Amino acid sequence: MTAGDRPAAEEPRLALRRRSASAWSRRGFLTVFLPALALVLIGATALGTSGNALLPFERVITLEGKMASKRDFFEDEKVRRILLKHHIRIHITSVGSREVAIRDLDDYDFVFPSGQPAGDLITRERAEKNEFTKIYRPFVSPIVLASYREYAEVLAKEGIAEPQPASGKGEPLYYTLDMDAFLELIEKKRQWDEIGIEDFGITNTNRILAQTPDVCTANSASTYLALVAFTRRGEGSEVPETSHEAEERAHRIKPLMEQGLPHADVFRTYVSPEGKGVAPVVVAYEHQYLTYQAHYLARSKKLDLERVLLYPKSQFVTQPQFIALNKDGDRLGQLITQDPELRRRAMELGFRILDPTGEVAGDQLTEFLRETGIPVPSVDDDTRTAMPRLRLLERMISIIGDCSGEESG
pLDDT digits (tens, 9 = 90+) for 74-85: 999 999 999 999
**For 57-71, 91-105, 298-312, which range has the lowest pLDDT when averaged over its residues?**
91-105
pLDDT band at 260 (very low <50, low <70, confident <90, very high): low
Residue 26: which residues within 8 A CB-CB, separation 6 or more?
A: none
- The Cα–Cα gap between 146 and 271 comes to 10
Question: What pTM value is reported for the model?
Answer: 0.79
- Alpha-carbon distances of 42 from 8, 36, 58, 81, 138, rounded to whole Å: 66, 10, 20, 19, 36
Q: Is a pLDDT exceeding 60 seen at residue 137?
A: yes
pLDDT digits (tens, 9 = 90+) for 41-52: 555 454 444 444
Provide mean pLDDT across the span 112-137. Answer: 85
Q: Is a pLDDT exceeding 60 seen at residue 9?
A: no
pLDDT band at 71 (very low <50, low <70, confident <90, very high): confident
User: In one letter, which amino acid is 303?
Assistant: L
What pLDDT score was predicted for residue 407? 39
| Domains of the chain listed by start with CATH number | 55-139+319-358+366-374 (3.40.190.10), 141-318+385-406 (3.40.190)
- Higher-confidence position of 260 and 141: 141
pLDDT digits (tens, 9 = 90+) for 352-386: 998 877 777 667 888 899 999 999 998 765 455 66
Q: Is a pLDDT exceeding 60 seen at residue 186?
A: yes
pLDDT band at 314 (very low <50, low <70, confident <90, very high): confident
What pLDDT score was predicted for residue 96? 64
What pLDDT score was predicted for residue 28? 53
- Higher-confidence position of 337 and 94: 337
User: In one letter, which amino acid is 336?
Assistant: I
**For 42-51, 182-191, 308-317, which range has the lowest pLDDT when averaged over its residues?**
42-51
Provide mean pLDDT across the span 246-267. Answer: 79
pLDDT band at 12 (very low <50, low <70, confident <90, very high): very low
> Is residue 105 a contact partner of residue 66, using CB atoms and an 8 Å limit?
yes
What pLDDT score was predicted for residue 168? 53
What pLDDT score was predicted for residue 10? 47
pLDDT band at 118 (very low <50, low <70, confident <90, very high): confident
- Higher-confidence position of 238 and 330: 330
Q: Is a pLDDT exceeding 60 seen at residue 195?
A: yes
**For 17-21, 168-172, 251-255, 375-379, which range has the lowest pLDDT when averaged over its residues?**
17-21
